[in-house]
Amino acid sequence: MTAIEMNGKDLSQKVRSDIAEDVQQLKEKGITPHLTVIIIGDDPASKSYVRGKEKACSETGMSSDIIELPSSTTEKDLLTRIDGLNKDETVHGILVQLPLPDHINEQNVIESISPTKDVDGFHPINVGKLMTGQSTFLPCTPYGIITMLNAYDVTIEGKHAVVLGRSNIVGKPVGQLLLNDNATVTYCHSRTKNVTAFTQEADILILATGRANSIRGEHVKSGAVVVDVGINRMEDGTLSGDADFPSVAEKASLITPVPRGVGPMTITMLLKNTITAAEGLDAVGK
Ligand code: NDP
């Protein structure tokens, strides 16, 4: 079998054009969806992600601003800034680019963002809502993965989904979303014994370990749907996923490439969450 590629770049363009229409409709009601991104320090990768988010906002007609703060910023100053944004009715979504400098407690910052403006979906209230199957902001990468699976008509109900990775931003929430959609979910992590025994049983295999090319064709069941979340920078400067693409694509029925797979969907779902925030939390969809 040679897998069909699930192209996140093309799907993103389609979803973003729907978002642009939503923005237009909101503007006609006098609401311009606005995302504020806070970035602290000079990390080039973070700066590049933030620029990508700003560009995506402007392409869909949304407004955004970036607050750039020096790495010497204190936690107290940052929390004061966030408090101001929470109270600012023209700001619908707030995102603090992670990671933060060591002297700032990440959890305190996440919990200081109003759950109604938490477009990253990291606030414990929103995580709790996700766990209990209530409408909420979904974390962007898992939301993008589910959107892709739906767009490619992948049946989730009754399938065995195996998730490699259990981070708070990818592994855990994507497994929870699959469970909410009635998959049977297995999580594997660095302490799992004989990971291959699980991957070979997966109807839907989510790779989110950040271990380049570590999953090969022999680790995958014939006809599996493989979602490769990993983004690994190789020595020659190219990007690679967690899957050894050629051998896994031989076995799978559907697979996401890296790049042009999950990555573009992540920013797209951030835009979608910002629209939802502008519409009011009652409109949170899923
Ligand atoms: P983390 O480093 O936070 O988590 C990695 C997870 O992989 C951990 O749970 C770890 O287990 C697990 N793991 C490590 N080794 C193994 C192994 N041999 N077998 C099974 N599980 C293992 O990473 P993130 O979740 O933040 O990101 C994962 C990857 O996805 C990275 O490559 C990242 O760059 C990429 N990414 C891509 C995004 C996109 O938009 N496409 C967005 C976010 C991330 P343990 O918990 O035991 O340590």
Per-residue pLDDT tens digits for 75-93: 999 999 999 999 999 999 9
Residue 130 placed within a domain: no
Distance of alpha carbon 224 from alpha carbon 132, whole angstroms: 28
Overall average pLDDT of the 237-245 stretch: 96
Is 231 annotated to bind ligand? Answer: yes
Report helix, strand or coil for 258: coil
Three-state secondary structure string covering 93-130: EEEECCCCCCCCCHHHHHHHCCHHHCCCCCCHHHHHHH
Verify that 206 and 248 share a domain, yes or no: yes
Q: Is the distance from the beta carbon of residue 208 to the nearest atom of ligand 1 less than 6 Å? A: yes
Backbone phi, then psi, for 174, in 5-degree steps?
A: -70, -35
Give the distance (Å) from ligand 1 centre to CA of residue 284: 27
* Residues of the domain holding 174: 139-264
Residue 5 placed within a domain: no
Asked whether the predicted pLDDT for residue 145 surpasses 80, the reply is yes
**What pLDDT score was predicted for residue 102?**
97
Residue 77 placed within a domain: yes
Verify that 109 and 144 share a domain, yes or no: no
Strand partners, 254: 4, 225
Q: What is the CATH number of the domain that holds 41?
A: 3.40.50.10860
Residue 13 placed within a domain: no
Backbone phi, then psi, for 247, in 5-degree steps?
A: -75, -35
CA 27 to chain centre: 26
% of the chain with per-residue pLDDT over 90 = 96
How many domains does the chain divide into? 2
Q: Which residues are CB-neighbours of 27 under 8 A, at least 6 positions away?
A: 61
Residue 63 placed within a domain: yes
Verify that 177 and 214 share a domain, yes or no: yes
Residue 283 placed within a domain: no
Q: Which residues are CB-neighbours of 14 under 8 A, at least 6 positions away?
A: none
Verify that 159 and 234 share a domain, yes or no: yes
Give the distance (Å) from ligand 1 centre to CA of residue 21: 34
Read off the pTM.
0.96
Asked whether the predicted pLDDT for residue 100 surpasses 50, the reply is yes
Does the annotation count 120 as an active-site position?
Answer: yes
Residue 282 placed within a domain: no
Q: What is the pLDDT of residues 24-34, one digit of tens each?
A: 999 999 999 99
Q: Which of 22, 117, 118, 120 is catalytic?
A: 120
Verify that 87 and 192 share a domain, yes or no: no
Q: Which residues are CB-neighbours of 240 under 8 A, at least 6 positions away?
A: 212, 213, 230, 232, 234, 258
Verify that 181 and 254 share a domain, yes or no: yes
Overall average pLDDT of the 222-247 stretch: 96
CB-based contact 242:228 (threshold 8 Å): yes
Asked whether the predicted pLDDT for residue 281 surpasses 70, the reply is no
Verify that 81 and 165 share a domain, yes or no: no
Q: How far is CA 241 from CA 72, 199, 253, in A?
A: 34, 16, 17
Verify that 145 and 247 share a domain, yes or no: yes
**What pLDDT score was predicted for residue 282?**
56
Residue 253 placed within a domain: yes
Our CA angle for 148, 150, 156, nearest 5°, is 115
